Chains A and B, each alone.
Chain A
Amino acid sequence: MRPTVKKTGAKDELYIYTWSSYIDDSLLQTFTAQTGIRVIATTFDSNETMLATIRAGKGAEYSIIYPSDYAVAKMIDLKLLQELDYTKISGQENILVKFQNSVHDPGNRYHIPVSWGTTGLIYNSEKLNPPPQDWNYLWLNQSQLSRRMTLLNDTREVMGATLRALGYSYNSTDPQEIKQAYEKLVKLKPAITNFTSDAWRDQLLAGDLLLAMGYSSDAVAVIQQDARFKYVIPSSGTSLWSDTMVIPRTAPNPDAAYAWINFMLQPSVAAQVAQRLFFATPNQAAHDQLPAPLRDNEALFPPETLLTKSEGIAPVTQEIAELYEKYWTQLTSS
């Protein structure tokens, strides 16, 4: 997009590839004011798009990329990333312990977490009384919710939530448990109007849906638009996800990349960004600086008791991944 490719190695320029929700002009200007490095940011809308771009060799100008946790694992597999030199990084000790050792990148050797969130239920609090508290609510209130609820269009999330409702791990690799989860989902199927990760928003706001399974970041955006909607993290636990910063192996300007990482790790910067762009920061020091209403927003920062019951979606072997996918195809084609 930028015609100045030959200048990408310039010491005073940093190309960043990120989600549109994680940057704004004010952030870029503050960085330039502090470091004298000009930032050129390009955005992507899904990890798959980003991966395809980088794998096609079209991302040689980027020194910082923002993949989600599972995409970090893929990029490590594909040898697209360079190991972080922690001697050049300061402030990472402020990252919550829970996020210092990702299942997708043990020891966080390649990434620094930027934001995190949960998967849960967004519901119409005027219509659903008593409100949902756990995954089993879906099965117990199937007739009331019938054709007025959507689940995520994501095999592992939906199967994981059902596994959790059965008391198993979100990341079960036991074929028997996975089969039981599939059978439980088949019972719920007639009541599910769609599997979608984004189309539920408008339909929920319009009143066509009573409840949707979704990500906390999307839920918070919906609640901001209309306070009738509430977000609940199921009490038996859910999945935790995070978005991260990495340095690609081909980074033309690693020094600027480290400058960016250190800038983003500053508690005051992380706090301002979280406040302005409204996402959960994994930076404990930044969290402490947030104004009370945001800091105590349980949709963004759920209580510790809930977090201990939750886990990140862990990578599984190809064999188990195919088993999940097969049940998913069966579920969505019958």
Chain B
Amino acid sequence: MSQASPPISREAPRKQPAALARLLEPLALLGPAGIWLALLLVIPTLLIFQLSLVPGIRPGDVVNPSGLDNYVQIFQPLYLQVLGRSLFFAAGTTLICLVLGFPVAYWIALLVPKRWRNLTLIGFVLPLWTSSLLRSYAWITILRPTGVLNTVLTSFGLPALDILNRDAAVLVGMSYSLLPYMVLILYASLEKLDTRLLEAAADLGATPKQAFWQVTVPQTLPGIAAGCLLVFITGLGDFVDPELLGGASSMTAARLIYNQFLGATQNWGFGSALSMLLILTVSIAIALLLKYGDRNASGV
């Protein structure tokens, strides 16, 4: 900003504007994003926090923070069970994504010829360009009792599967949605793998299996951590897949929060307390991600 000043800038009267510019520069650069963050993240979060301190608040009530009752309520076995189901879906999805995603990322990073790599990656990320709602509906069509999957199975003389409206369907839907993230992050991590170390391991008598577990995995551990945490965080807040694919037992934290705001009881205070808990859990996961994850790989 001070580049525009003429060569006589060393004169005393010009010092003050320069100092002012130094002060304004970060403001001008960070201001727009700062205002954006404050308006759309900080203030709403504070509002949720304020609401969470009012027991039994309903739309239209005066906000009068008075205690932690809403947080105490979360620790009833009933609600812990709901949170447990959310954790189960998120953790299960993370595990499935890791097991399915690692071989794919390994294949793309190390075995696919370099000129095909980007194309393969794009092919893998392509599903992300469609609506997640659409993808969940597609799974209904595939998994329903007389759907695509069972038509194929029975035409080969195999028994039909009853998957839709069960936990399995939620895990299928969530894993499908989140797998591309895992693959991208693992790919970024595996791409940097120093293959000479694998050659050295082979020279020194390590079997491929030993080399994989003792060289490849430790080197890509930050990438694995980043991928797992990102999938876990996103999975924890998933609303669509449990709602559409999960059937009669698919109450999760996100659906419970929805019910508190738009359902029959309209207990905004309790819903806000649940939201704060979810925000806290995700924040801890992000802190872990920053500490242990592969920052370059995850882009955080």
Interface residues of chain A, those whose CB is within 8 Å of chain B, are: 48, 55, 74, 77-78, 147, 154-156, 189, 192-195, 199, 202-203, 206-208, 318, 321-322, 324-326, 329-330, 332-334
Counting from the closest, the 6 A-B pairs by CB-CB distance are A333-B251, A332-B251, A325-B265, A192-B248, A193-B165, A208-B145
CB of A143 to closest CB in B, whole Å: 15
Interface contact A147-B264, CB-CB below 8 Å: no
Q: Does chain A have a CB within 8 A of B247?
A: yes
What string of 1s and 0s marks CB contacts (under 8 Å) between B82-93 and chain A? 100100000000
Output the nearest chain B residue to A202 by Cβ-Cβ distance. B140
One of B147, B247, B251 near A329 (C-beta < 8 A): B251
Given known A195-B248, A329-B256, contact A318–B263 (CB-CB < 8 A)? no
CA distance A206 to B192 in the complex (A): 50
One of B60, B244, B249, B267 near A77 (C-beta < 8 A): B60
Interface contact A334-B165, CB-CB below 8 Å: no
Q: Does chain A have a CB within 8 A of B146?
A: yes
A interface majority secondary structure: helix
Q: Does chain A have a CB within 8 A of B78?
A: yes
Given known A48-B262, A199-B244, A321-B264, contact A78–B251 (CB-CB < 8 A)? no
Given known A155-B264, A326-B78, A329-B82, contact A334–B249 (CB-CB < 8 A)? yes
Query: Which residues of A sit under 8 angstroms from B58, Cβ to Cβ?
Result: 318
22 A–B contacts from the bound complex (CB under 8 Å): A77-B60, A147-B162, A202-B140, A203-B144, A206-B144, A206-B146, A208-B144, A208-B147, A318-B56, A321-B265, A322-B267, A324-B265, A325-B259, A325-B263, A325-B267, A329-B251, A332-B248, A332-B250, A332-B251, A333-B85, A334-B81, A334-B249
Output the nearest chain B residue to A333 by Cβ-Cβ distance. B251
Given known A322-B267, A333-B81, contact A207–B247 (CB-CB < 8 A)? no
Query: Which residues of A sit under 8 angstroms from B259, Cβ to Cβ?
Result: 325, 329
Output the nearest chain A residue to B83 by Cβ-Cβ distance. A333
Q: Does chain A have a CB within 8 A of B59?
A: yes
